[in-house]
Amino acid sequence: MGRTNTKKMVQGAMIAAIFGALSLFNTYTGSMFDVLICYVMSVPLVWYGYTYSLKDNIIVCVVSMFVIAMMGLPFFVISSIESCLAGLFIGEALKRKAKKETILFGTLAVTFLNNILIYEVFSGLLGVDLIAEMRDMYITMIQPISALSNRISLEFFIALAPLFLLMVSVMEMYVIVLMCQIILMRLNIQFPGSFHIANMHLSKPVGLILSIGLVVSYGLVKFGYVDSIYLTYLYTICVVVLALQGLAFLSWLLIVKEKAKFMIFVLLGLFIPMVNTFYVVIGIVDIFSDLRENILYNRHSND
């Protein structure tokens, strides 16, 4: 019993010390790697939480945050909150054998909370101005395609700031969860399935809700002339999720065809207007059909 407690304390102290060293490294490199480091920091906390109790993991997180607060820059300190909360949640969720959806949405709540802290609560302290950043992003976006300014105004683009935070949070969530799975499965920690984008497959009820939301929001804005930012939020969310489903299918297809090296081109297509519309169509077909099963069946029949 004493040996277990000693081992637990030593491992917890090592994690806190590593976080302190990473905080110093980030400070001396001018915060060049702060976001990447914060993603990596979640991994040992997930392992520790999976191996030991929630109370032990909380103690390690508190000590780690104290060490980081003494050595790190403000942005890194606040970003580390995301790492600690994600480590606590994912470690406990894996221990309790939670579903994939629970892990994804729980981690999304953590990343979204962290972005609220950075861009809203502590924006003055950190010198972060979300509106100014979106204004610069808009200018960068319309410079190569000036015709976009006729379709998307600066005021409208800035009004999408909450949706932008949500999208960023989703990407951060996916990176954290996927990184934890890639590393920790090598340590024999079991995950409730693969989080690879190719394995994404929405259920038909969810697909129906998204499709109805897409049609209704588009119809009200385009033909009903209803000017509502909330309808725009609904339309954008439906388009993005369905496009991601299309991306998931195409990624799966490339893996099946043993051409996974071309997945980078499929990912880039997500940011091309006409192509991502095609992804939405593919996503809807993938949800409501047995396309994957038919492809696998035909492949095995040919073999």
pLDDT in tens, 19-51: 888 888 877 777 666 777 778 888 999 999 998
**Tens digits of residue pLDDT in 275-299:** 878 889 999 999 998 888 888 767 6
Q: What is the 3-state secondary structure (H, E, C) of 198-222?
A: HHCCCCHHHHHHHHHHHHHHHHHHH
- Residue 210: band (very low, low, confident or very high) from pLDDT cuts 50, 70, 90: very high
Report residue 150's pLDDT band, with 50, 70 and 90 as the boundaries.
low
The mean of the pLDDT values for the chain is 84
Alpha helices (H) along the chain? 2-28, 34-51, 54-71, 74-95, 100-116, 123-126, 130-142, 148-151, 154-159, 161-184, 204-222, 229-256, 263-269, 273-288, 291-302
pTM for this one? 0.83
- pLDDT band at residue 212 using 50, 70 and 90 as cut-offs: very high
Kindly indicate the confidence band of residue 230, based on its pLDDT and cuts at 50, 70 and 90: confident
Q: Looking at residue 303, what is its pLDDT? A: 56
Q: List the single range of 117-121, 211-215, 227-231, 295-299 with lowest mean pLDDT.
A: 295-299
As given in the structure block, the two tokens for residue 211 are: 């499709």
Q: How far apart (Å, rounded) are the C-alpha atoms in residues 213 and 288? A: 16
Residue with tokens 């104290």: 66
Mean pLDDT of 187-196: 85
Q: List, for residues 66-107, the tens digit of each pLDDT value.
A: 888 887 778 888 888 888 899 999 999 999 888 888 999 999
pLDDT in tens, 254-267: 888 888 778 888 87
**Residue 178 and residue 275: Cα distance in Å, rounded?**
26
